[in-house]
């Protein structure tokens, strides 16, 4: 028999903490990344692999391809994040990936995202241990708090089993 795995509840930011985090992030690219992770519940790998062709501004959706478990899914894109992405696109003019290194045009690195997220949390006065996945947890928890059915949340997050979504 193997020992049982710890079942710890995920760290979740309040809605106000998420807003504060986005507001104190001065760099437009970094702000767009934080806001997009929170607004869509994407994993960091999905965000960094996101190609421009996957964003459908007419239908206000993002098609996430080859996510965890080699699954595709579509997530809704809110009006406010849509405006932020349009502004970001006009400023940075990405070529293939939505978030790419300005010199090499390769996908942005996950370690860079973690670093600027840590700096932004310090600036916002957030003392919790925040990772990009914390924003995903916060997204799911806030949807649940606002009365969204758990099956929709499961679909948005790309979970196969409802049990995985039940931690929220």
Indicate the SS3 state at residue 41: coil
| Known catalytic residue at 159 | yes
Q: Kindly give the pairing relationship between strand 73-76 and strand 61-64.
A: antiparallel
Which residue among the candidates 43, 88, 108, 142 is catalytic per the annotation?
43
* Given the residues 136, 137, 139, 142, the one annotated as active site: 136
Given the residues 71, 122, 133, 151, the one annotated as active site? 133
The one catalytic residue in 68, 71, 122, 128 is 68
Active site annotation includes 93: no
43 labelled catalytic:
yes
In which residue are the tokens 């990936």 written?
97
What is the C-alpha separation between 136 and 120, in angstroms, rounded? Answer: 17
92 is catalytic: no
Taking the C-alpha atoms of residue 35 and residue 85, their distance in angstroms, rounded to an integer, is: 9
* Residue 133 is a catalytic residue: yes
Q: Catalytic one among 29, 137, 142, 159? A: 159
Q: Which of 94, 91, 76 is nearest to 36 (CA)?
A: 76
Is 82 an active-site residue?
A: no
User: Which residues are the active-site residues?
Assistant: 43, 68, 133, 136, 159, 168
């Amino acid at each position: 028999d193997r020992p049982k795995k710890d079942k710890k509840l995920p760290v979740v930011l309040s809605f106000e903490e998420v807003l504060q985090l986005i507001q104190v992030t001065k760099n437009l690219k970094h702000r767009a990344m934080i806001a997009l992770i929170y607004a869509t519940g994407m994993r960091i790998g999905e965000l960094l692999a996101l190609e421009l062709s996957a964003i459908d501004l007419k239908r206000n959706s993002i098609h996430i391809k080859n996510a965890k478990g080699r699954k595709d899914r579509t997530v809704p894109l809110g009006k406010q994040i849509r405006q932020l992405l349009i502004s970001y696109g006009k400023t940075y003019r990405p070529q293939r990936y939505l978030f790419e290194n300005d010199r090499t045009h390769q996908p942005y690195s996950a370690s860079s995202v973690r670093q600027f997220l840590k700096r932004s949390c310090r600036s916002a006065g957030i003392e919790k241990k925040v990772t990009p996945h914390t924003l995903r947890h916060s997204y799911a928890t806030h949807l649940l708090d606002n009365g969204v059915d758990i099956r929709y949340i499961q679909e948005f997050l790309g979970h196969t089993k409802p049990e995985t979504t039940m931690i929220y």
